[in-house]
Amino acid sequence: MALTDLKIRNAKPTDKQQKLFDERGLYLLVTPAGGKWWRLKYRFGGKEKSLSMGVYPDIGLKQARERRDAARKLLANGIDPSIDRKVQKAATTERAANSFEAVAREWFAKQSPGWAQSHADKVIGRLENDVFPWLGGRPIADITAPEVLAVLRRVETRGALDTAHRVHQNCGQVFRYAIATGRAERDVSGDLRGALPAARHTHFASVTEPSEVAALLRALDGFQGTFVVQCALRLAPLLFVRPGELRTAEWAQFDLDKAQWRYTVSKTKTEHLVPLAKQAVAILRELHALTGLRKYVFPGRDVKKPMSGAAINAALRRMGYDTRTEITGHGFRAMARTILHEHLRFPGEVIEHQLAHKVPDALGTAYNRTKFIVDRTAMMQAWADYLDALKAGVQVVPIGMSGVA
C-alpha cells in the first residue's frame, strides 16, 4: 500500500529500524532514535542500490515522490542516479570555487600584501559593497558584460562616478586573474570601455592663500577635541606628509634629539626622511608624555591600533571646514607645495623631495631620501617659522631660503 501523510506522522520508533514502503522503490526508514529518512531502492548494472532522498518532515511525501520520479527517469536513460548526484555535487563545488567572489578574494590575497593598507581596504570595500552582492555567487566564466554594466550603473546612479570607474578597473583585474588561472576565457569588462561617462578628477581641497592659512592655523590651535587629534592637526601642516603616513606614525621611527622622522613611504615603498622643525619637536615631546609608551604616536580608541583614517577630516568638519571644497587632511601637502614655491621661493626639486615624490634626474627617477637634506632641513624650519608668523599676524616677506622677516 502507498504511504499517506497520516501514516508517516504516526510512525513511532522501535528498537529496530523500520522500512515503510511507498511505491516504485520509495520507502521511509524510521530509526530507533526517531529519525525518518527517505530512501529509493533500485537496481543498476545488476546490483541493488539505495539512494538518499532527504529527511522527513523537511521533505514531504509529495516532494519525495517527485525526487523518486526524477531518479527513475535517469535510470530509464541508463544513468545511475547515485553517480549523477556525485557529478552534480562536484560541479556545484567547482562552481562555488570558481565564483566571482572566490576568484576575487584569491586575487586580493595574492596582490594586497604589496599595497598600502588604506588602498587594500578601499579595493576590498568596493568589491564587498558594490560587486559581491550581485555577482559574487555567479561562476566567473558565465558572467556577461551586461551583468557587469548593471553593477557599474548602480554605483553611477548614486553619484559615485569615480568609484564606478574604479569598480570597473577592479573587475577587470579579477577577470584577468581568472584567465591566468584557467577559470575564465576572457575579460568581459573590456567590452565596457566607454560605457561610463569620463570621471572628472579633481585635486584634494586645499587652502593656499596666506590669509586663509592664518585663519586655518588659528582654528587648528583652538580645536576642542582629544589631545591626540589636536596634536595630529597641529603637526599636519608642519610635516605635510600623506594623511595615512601621519596617522600610522610609530614612535620607533622618531629621533627627537636629532629632530628626524624616518619611515617607509606607503605609495612608493621607499625610505623617507622628514627633518623636524623645533615647533614639530615641541609638539611631539608633549604628546610623548601621553602616548610614548604605545606603538603609535596617534593611537585610536583601541590603543593597539592607529587613529582612524577619518579622524582628521572629521575634525576639520567640526571646525566648520568643508572637506570637499575647502581643506582635507591631504590638502596640507598642496598648501605647503604652493606656498613654499610661490611665496618662500624654495626650489621645486627641494620641495618635491620633501613631499617624497619621484623627481627625474640624471640617475633616473629613484628617490634619494637624503638628497637636499641640508636645504630641506632649512626649508622645514623656515616653513614652521613662516606658519607661526602667519598665525600671529606678522607680515611675511618672501625672501627665499631665509624664510621669515
What are the tens digits of pLDDT across the range 168-206?
999 999 999 999 999 899 999 999 988 998 866 555 667
Catalytic residue (one of 341, 343, 367, 369): 367
* pLDDT tens digits, 139-170: 999 999 999 999 999 999 988 888 999 999 99
Q: Where are the domains of the chain?
A: 5-88, 100-192, 210-402
Catalytic residue (one of 165, 183, 242, 272): 242
* pLDDT tens digits, 235-276: 999 999 999 999 999 999 999 999 999 999 877 788 999 999
Q: Is 111 a residue whose pLDDT tops 50?
A: yes
pLDDT band at 401 (very low <50, low <70, confident <90, very high): very low
Which of helix, strand or coil describes residue 21? strand
Dihedral angle computed from the Cα positions of residues 122, 127, 131 and 136, in that order, rounded to the nearest 10 degrees:
-170
pLDDT band at 327 (very low <50, low <70, confident <90, very high): confident
Catalytic residue (one of 126, 272, 333, 337): 333
Q: Please report the pLDDT score of residue 95 as a whole number.
A: 62
Residues 6+ apart with CB under 8 A from 227: 287, 290
CB atoms within 10 A of CB 1: 8
The helix (H) or strand (E) run that includes residue 271 is: strand 271-275
pLDDT band at 402 (very low <50, low <70, confident <90, very high): very low
Residues 6+ apart with CB under 8 A from 359: 349, 352, 353, 365, 367
Q: Is 403 a residue whose pLDDT tops 50?
A: no
What are the Cα distances from residue 186, in Å, to 142, 144, 345?
10, 10, 53
Q: Is 399 a residue whose pLDDT tops 60?
A: no
Q: Does domain 210-402 have CATH number 1.10.443.10?
A: yes
Whole-number Å distance between alpha carbons of 363 and 42? 79
- Active-site annotation holds for 153: no
Q: Please report the pLDDT score of residue 241 as a whole number.
A: 94
Catalytic residue (one of 122, 138, 357, 371): 357
Catalytic residue (one of 36, 67, 272, 330): 330
- Active-site annotation holds for 386: no
The upper half-sphere exposure of residue 134, i.e. CA atoms within 13 Å in the direction of its Cβ, equals 18
Cell numbers standing for residue 371: 638628497
Helix-then-strand count for the chain, H and E? 16, 7
Whole-number Å distance between alpha carbons of 333 and 242? 7
Lowest-confidence segment of 84-93, 200-209, 269-278 by average pLDDT: 200-209
- Active-site annotation holds for 68: no
Q: Read off the pTM.
A: 0.53
* CATH number, span 5-88: 3.30.160.390
Q: Please report the pLDDT score of residue 367 as a whole number.
A: 53
The helix (H) or strand (E) run that includes residue 55 is: strand 47-56
Q: Please report the pLDDT score of residue 88 as a whole number.
A: 81
CATH class of 100-192: mainly alpha
Which of helix, strand or coil describes residue 82? helix
The helix (H) or strand (E) run that includes residue 38 is: strand 36-44
Mean pLDDT over 378-386 rounds to 96
- Active-site annotation holds for 367: yes
- Active-site annotation holds for 357: yes
Whole-number Å distance between alpha carbons of 240 and 305? 22
DSSP 128: I
- Active-site annotation holds for 203: no
- The percent of residues above 70 in pLDDT, for the chain, comes to 91
